A = this chain, B = another copy of it.
Amino acid sequence: MPEGNSLNLVSGVLERLNTALASGDIPGIVEQFQPDCYWRDLVSFTWNIKTMEGRDQITSMLESQLKAVGPSNFRLAPGEPETEADGIAQAWITFETRVARGNGFIRLKNGRIWTLLTVMSELKGHEEPKNLRRPMGAEHGARTDRTSWKERREQESESLGLSEQPYCLIVGGGQGGIALGARLRQLNVPTVIIDKNDKPGDAWRKRYKTLCLHDPVWYDHLPYLPFPDNWPVFSPKDKIGDWLEMYTKVMELNYWGSTLCKSARYDEAAGEWIVEVERGGETITLRPKQLVLATGMSGKPNIPKFKGMDVFKGEQHHSSQHPGPDAYRGKKVVVIGANNSSHDICAALWEAGVDVTMVQRSSTHIVKSDSLMDLGLGDLYSERAVASGMTTWKADMIFASLPYKILHEFQIPIYNKIRERDAEFYKRLERAGFMLDFGDDESGLFMKYLRRGSGYYIDVGASDLVADGKIKLKSNVDVAELKANSVLLSDGTELPADLVVYATGYGSMNGWAADLISREVADKVGKVWGLGSATTKDPGPWEGEQRNMWKPTQQDALWFHGGNLHQSRHYSQYLSLQIKARQEGIPTPVYGLQAVHHVA
């Protein structure tokens, strides 16, 4: 690593920052930032997930928070010297506030802060019991009131939610609820997770048989217990199901399977939720202080209304209910939609010898899996990254340090490269009539995911079937109506059908709030997901962070958690700390609670 003046830049800035922080000198703090600057804070300064864009927003935030937060002691992280590349100096940092310790990542341009990421890592006095603080397991010495680990576990699962109320209730026991549950367990927050399925992992097990994760293993680790080195790159669904089941057990989560959430309402006076759940035929009323909906950002099926759906004599179902191809051999299937699920389902149907037609109503972004792994994720999440010393935590932090406002600028060149590399592939698809896009601003898959959570397919083979006409394609059409035995398209084509699959995506997660709580609360909270980028399906105004995810909402004590495995892992840390602080009565002055611009 080269040494020189440039490598004391960050230290100098941090020193000046500490001085200004100590004297509450807000202009002195802001002076350390350059004019086009971004400060992304995860809970440590704002008790929110918030990006301050530019000096004015930073000033406002500090005016509101500085006194209450009491930050100090910004330093280079131990053993992590600052580095420099392309005129950007960067470094891993640590700091503390009155109530917490934090980490971060800083980038300087022209000797001033260009991007700053600050995250809360732990609450003072509530550190996680790991490494030097791990539990002893055995209580040495002799005592006449000794209980065993098993007795204590059994006692807890027999009482929590029944004779004792959990502090937190998580509705939804997929990877999101499980990851958050693991974090809360470490923080000693009594928590119950409920899920309609019998066992953890069942939500995966019940999907079509050939489903595998589309994200690679390095991106998918759960907190605390990473997958072993022999884990497949793309986890088969049943294998990830087994992992989640064992994780739930090993992490000692209080998981209620076969439990339906019937209703929830917030008792303002008592400051608690009243939640009716049905467990094993019995109705139980839970009174948690905090309620987390972890029902999946892709959890609430969106089924379009077409004329004639009541007339159609065949089978119809949403992609999330599709059981796989086995029952449809020798039949005719029409799949409405042309994103991930549609491609997966069509390919499996074709492989089983089914006559299958994909109906593409609007354009789709497609990226080949190996190109995405190599160019899109490879520097942070890959065997190559691991070999170069990248850890999951560092990758998550680096990713989080890129401000959403300019993230597309980092993404566009990647997708330009992919377009070039796979030019022949894209040509073949277009020749087959497939409508392609790379996002409104050519920024590709990840931006589409963050903005709208849809509109793409990570190609693992189905695109060749489309290009070759093996999966039949009808594109640039809509569905006019369903007839008794066919689907009539807007161009007059009539497709005979025994089965129609609606691979038509999912609604906003506040739809769950409408179902479980009330329309009023759902509207008060507003749309979940998206950034306000004013691109397709992500209307403005610019909000700067994903709406309502992992942070306070307009409804007291109501939280949304989820996303892919990466997000579940990373953001569960901040959500768990927000909940823990509330449990302990630590003041949590929220800065910049999101406004609601869209109800869904």
- How many protomers of this protein does the assembly include? 2
A243 x B234 contact (CB < 8 A): no
Selecting from A23-31, A81-89, A114-122, A223-231, the interface stretch reads A223-231
Per-position contact with B for A230-262: 1 when CB-CB < 8 Å, else 0? 111111111100110010011000000000000
Q: Are A142 and B464 in contact (CB under 8 A)?
A: yes
Q: Which residues of B contact A213 (CB under 8 A)?
A: 137-138
Kindly identify which residue among B130, B135, B142, B232 contacts A462, using a CB–CB cutoff of 8 Å.
B142
Contact A470 B142 (CB under 8 A): yes
Instruction: Answer whether residue A186 sits at the interface, using C-beta atoms and an 8 A cutoff.
Output: yes
Interface mask (A130-155 → B, CB under 8 Å = 1, otherwise 0)? 11101111101111101011110100
Bound-state Cα–Cα, A138 to B234, Å: 6
Query: How far apart are A170's CB and chain B's nearest CB, in angstroms?
Result: 19
A233 → chain B closest CB, angstroms: 5
A518 nearest CB across to chain B (Å) = 39
With A146-B351, A250-B246 known to touch, is A461 a contact of B140 (CB < 8 Å)? yes
Interface size class of A (residues with CB under 8 A): 35 or more
Task: Please encode chain A, from 250 to 294, with 1 for each CB lying within 8 Å of some chain B CB and 0 for all others.
Answer: 100000000000000000000000000000000000000000000
A137 contacts B232, CB within 8 Å? yes
Closest CB in chain B relative to A292 CB, distance in Å: 21
User: Is there an interface contact between B132 and A383, defined as CB atoms closer than 8 Å?
Assistant: yes
Partner of A386, one of B131, B229, B351: B131
Contact call B238/A148, Cβ cutoff below 8 A:
yes
Cα distance, A233 to B132, chains bound together (Å): 10
CB distance from A294 to the nearest CB of B (A): 21
- Cα A348 to Cα B148 with chains together (Å): 11
Could you tell me if B369 and A233 are in contact, using CB atoms closer than 8 angstroms? no
Q: A347's closest neighbor in chain B, by CB? A: B142
Contact partners of A465 in chain B: CB under 8 A? 142
**A230 touches which one: B128, B148, B150 (CB < 8 A)?**
B128
A49 in the interface (beta carbon within 8 A): no
CB closest residue in chain B, given A141: B461
Q: Are B137 and A212 in contact (CB under 8 A)?
A: yes
User: Is the CB of A350 closer than 8 A to any CB of chain B?
Assistant: yes
Q: Given A142-B465, A347-B142: A234 and B136 within 8 A (CB)?
A: yes
18 A-B pairs besides A142-B347, A150-B209 with CB distance below 8 A are A128-B230, A131-B386, A134-B230, A136-B232, A137-B233, A137-B235, A138-B236, A140-B370, A141-B460, A141-B461, A142-B350, A142-B461, A142-B465, A150-B236, A150-B237, A150-B238, A225-B228, A242-B249
